Structure 1
Amino acid sequence: MTKIVLVDDHELYRMGLRVAIAQIQDLAEIIGECGSSQELEDYLHEQGAPDMIILDIRLPDGNGVDIARRLKTEYPDLKIIMLSSEVSEKIVNDLLEIGVEGYMSKMAQTSDIENAIRTVTTGGNFYGKSIAKIIMDLCVSRSAGHSHKNTRKQPNPSELTEREIEVIQHLCNGLSAKETGEKMHLSHRTVETHRSNILHKLGFSNAAELIRYAVKEGLVDWQ
């Protein structure tokens, strides 16, 4: 099971997360909790890095973006899901550049928490629907000004099957692998396999690159 450390300064919120995650069988185990950046630093120094950290964007002694940036430098294999009660273009942009695997609203439902952990654990990226829309807007706004800097041969959309394009459309609209599977009458594992194959086929390493490509090629409606 995925070993997780919760980092949030509100004890009741951590308790709620712990209970919600404990109800998900054979997926994850909470092995530690921290209420501040300093507590997290002490934990990592004493216990080492877990598989995943669920990290609040705002802590009393630190900014979650800065903390995530440092963690990704010191523990490159560590997976991070950010928690936030607010969503802004700047925060999303910063976290995409850092390379965090997930970004989830603190208003998320239990099913969203399960989807986020499951998606990130299996090598994917999880963004809520509102966050996926911001990513798409960022990709559109950048496409004109940065296209001349990209010297890599761009993949051809014709390389994708109709089913793969449908998977891309659902994922770009912020649906998890489980939700996509329900819409397409597939298991979430089949969707995860499709997602992995799509990234490999197109030569991308994460969902942000896939969304940028999908917007540029007109595979999704971003308005």
Structure 2
Amino acid sequence: MTIRVVVADDQELVRAGFGMILDAQPDIEVVAEAANGAEAVEAVREHAPDVLLLDVRMPVMDGLEAARRVCADHPDTKVIMLTTFDVDDYVYDALYAGASGFLLKDVRRDDLAHGVRMVASGEALLAPSVTRRLIAEFAARKSTGPQAVRAPSRLLEQLTGREAETLRLLARGHSNAEIAAELVVSEHTVKTHVSNVLAKLRLRDRVHAVVFAYESGAVVAGED
């Protein structure tokens, strides 16, 4: 199945470069480009892509507002934020708004295509130079700040023991294969556990399962 992508960035060279790299992949098609957030939202409405590559800072409507609108109105479109910074407050806010991860603009071409595939399949995505510390730090900021909203722990009570353990391992950055080895089950069983976790906790994808785990207290930042 071909992954349909919209690329949104106010720099024409960035748009063209990313578009060429992705269009060269046999399983990826760039269906539209956008030069600002408003155009990005319209492109998503018109083309219903699987993935939106969205620059954080753009004119007319910034990437954060565009992410909010796309995530709210088009839940089947996964959003990847593009940024020049490893740790950017706008990126934290974008993840909170529903984005599925982010990439640095100097990403290697192989990592760009791999990232698009990961997010399209529902996996978490962080820039290669950033570890799961980013998500932990994001969750810690949101859960300890003046406007913190604790994730409803009552939702955790719906999880089975294995599902709860899967959530904790997800939050520590484990892949499906690593979770399978830890729980001594098949990867297919892990995929089932992950799907159940997302459904019961009403979450978009694995990134937000990680955020939920930290905000609910199921996992504490800094603990192994």
Q: TM-score, normalised by structure 1?
A: 0.70
Match of 2:25? 24
Query: CA RMSD for the aligned pairs?
Result: 3.9
Change (3 A) 1:222 1:56: farther
Task: Report the Cα distance in structure 2 between the residues aligned to 1:76 and 1:136, rounded to whole angstroms.
Answer: 24
Match of 2:162? 159
Give the 5 Å matches for 1:69-218.
69-88=68-87, 90-128=89-127, 130=130, 132-141=132-141, 150-152=152-154, 154=156, 159=162, 169-171=172-174, 194=190, 197-201=193-197, 203-204=200-201, 205=203, 206=205, 207-213=207-213, 216-217=217-218
Pairwise CA distance, 1:59 = 1.5
Change (3 A) 1:193 1:121: farther
Identity, in percent, stands at: 22
Pairwise CA distance, 1:143 = 5.2
Pairwise CA distance, 1:56 = 0.9
Residue identity matched to 2:193: N
Task: Report the Cα distance in structure 2 between the residues aligned to 1:11 and 1:191, rounded to whole angstroms.
Answer: 41
Residue identity matched to 1:197: H
Pairwise CA distance, 1:72 = 2.4
Question: 5+ residue gaps in structure 2?
Answer: none
Q: TM-score, normalised by structure 2?
A: 0.70
Task: Report the Cα distance in structure 2 between the residues aligned to 1:61 and 1:153, rounded to whole angstroms.
Answer: 38
Matched, 1:61 2:46: no
Residue identity matched to 1:29: E
Deviations 1:158-209 (CA, angstroms, capped at 9, x unpaired): 62699997665344xxxxx6xx869x99xxxx86973553352584433233
Task: Report the Cα distance in structure 1 between the residues aligned to 2:100 and 2:92, rounded to whole angstroms.
Answer: 13
The SS at the match of 1:16 is helix
Residue identity matched to 1:150: P
Residue identity matched to 2:162: E
Task: Report the Cα distance in structure 2 between the residues aligned to 1:83 and 1:167, rounded to whole angstroms.
Answer: 23
